[in-house]
Copies of this chain bind each other. A is one copy, B any other.
Amino acid sequence: MDLGVTARVAPLIAQVREMVERDIAPLDAEFHAEVGKHPSGDRFQHTDRQLDILNGLKTLAKERGLWNFWLTGSERGYGLTTVEYAYLAEEMGKVGIAAEVFNCNAPDTGNMEVLERYGTEAHKERWLGRLLEGEIRSAYVMTEPDIASSDAAQLKFRAVREGDHYVLNGEKWWISGAGDPRCGLYIVMAMTDPEAAKHARHTMFVMDADTPGVEKLRPMQVFGQDDAPHGHLHLRFTDVRVPVENVVLGEGRGFEVAQGRLGPGRIHHCMRAIGQAEKALEMMCKRGLAREAFGKKLVELGANYDIIANARMEIEMARLLCLKAAWMMDTKGVREAQPWISQIKVVAPLMAGKVIDEAMQMHGAGGISQDFDLAYMWTHVRTLRFADGPDAVHRRQVARAELRKYVNDKV
């Protein structure tokens, strides 16, 4: 169980880290400061400067061969293991736009995996190439407003077959990336047969984002932020017609696709969250050494030594657990790795939230302001406790896996 930095990935880590620090970080703040400055006033249009920043960095990354690392075990990319990728994703997590710069960002990597693994040649031709090149973006259209979507069997957005098309109707929300004008692909989960067995009711579709009948109702806010231009949109589908060829894997197999998609994506989020925690700890130490109160450095006051030590221990443990989950995926496959993926899905966002919270506290009121990245990081990792399934669902999975060691009955 080699969880370490391999000789192969070591130079890539160094290159990614350097590019994140030197090239991306300075432009990240500028990119975000540009939001809302499009002449139209539309926050969901990129300004020219935003596109320059993104495209410039992406070109640079490609030139340096730092691209599509997430394609683990594949001929198309570096053929890295998930363990190796984890170390790269951690670095990318430290700056907001970094993952996109290396074409390793959610939800695109998960969507590309769907196409790669389950798509037809036609699907791949239409969308996969452009996604792999970073020319378009994509969205995963699953969550619904009127039900607890953590129990996906409840999804009631409808697709009804009419001849050689399906007609889609209903609402979806929290569709991340659907705000981006470059978003070209939707992968949509819809109920096709309400009478079927619980896990055979739903079907996965691929479709162009600009298919008629899709209405952008509003951007969902995340703690008051719209995350423009990426966005998390509330969509309404009215008689949206999708050809039958756009079904992924087959009618009624939506759950299968969804399960296969979620493993890697979940763990990528965790890797990046660990990178954020690592960054927060560094900021906490530096601030605590730089400021004084009551005649002492902040680190020497109160429980700060213990707070720093606890942060180090919790980061270290979460990273190791994440690496083990990655190793399980590499060696045993997503299915068998599932309980470990659930474990790290619970652990990493909670840990990162805690470490960032303490780092904010060490920064005083500045820590919650625009002057440091901590405030954004804190609210962002909080969202990961919902993304790809809330903590409660993952704890349930872990407990069931544990109990199955002792009973044959379903628990």
Q: Could you list which residues of chain A lie within 8 angstroms of chain B, going by C-beta atoms?
A: 1-5, 143, 145, 147-151, 154, 173-174, 220-225, 281-282, 285-286, 288-289, 291-294, 298-299, 301-306, 308-310, 312-313, 316-318, 320-321, 324, 339-340, 343, 346-347, 360-361, 364-370, 375-376, 378-379, 382-383, 385-387, 390-392, 394-403, 405-407, 411
Question: If A293-B151, A321-B320, A406-B285 touch, does A221 touch B369 (CB 8 Å cutoff)?
Answer: yes
A292 contacts which chain B residues (CB < 8 A)?
148, 151, 154
* Interface SS of chain A: helix
- Nearest chain B CB to A380's CB is how many angstroms away? 10
Shortest Cβ distance from residue A158 to the other chain B in the assembled complex, whole angstroms: 19
* CB proximity of A339 to chain B, nearest CB, Å: 8
Indicate whether A320 sits within 8 Å of B309 (C-beta atoms), given known contacts A365-B174, A396-B302, A403-B299: no
Q: A306 contacts which chain B residues (CB < 8 A)?
A: 302-303, 306, 392, 395, 399
Besides A224-B375, A299-B403, A306-B392, 11 other A-B contacts (C-beta < 8 A): A2-B2, A3-B320, A149-B365, A224-B370, A285-B405, A286-B406, A303-B392, A309-B402, A310-B395, A361-B386, A365-B386
Q: In the bound complex, do residue A364 and residue B392 qualify as a contact, i.e. CB atoms below 8 Å apart? A: no
Contacts of A1 in B (CB 8 A): 2-5
Please state if B289 and A407 are interface contacts (CB–CB under 8 Å).
yes
Residue in contact with A303 in the complex, picked from B148, B305, B312, CB distance below 8 Å:
B305
Given A306-B302, A320-B317, decide whether A398 and B4 contact each other with a Cβ distance below 8 A: no
Question: A366 near B145 (CB under 8 angstroms)?
Answer: yes
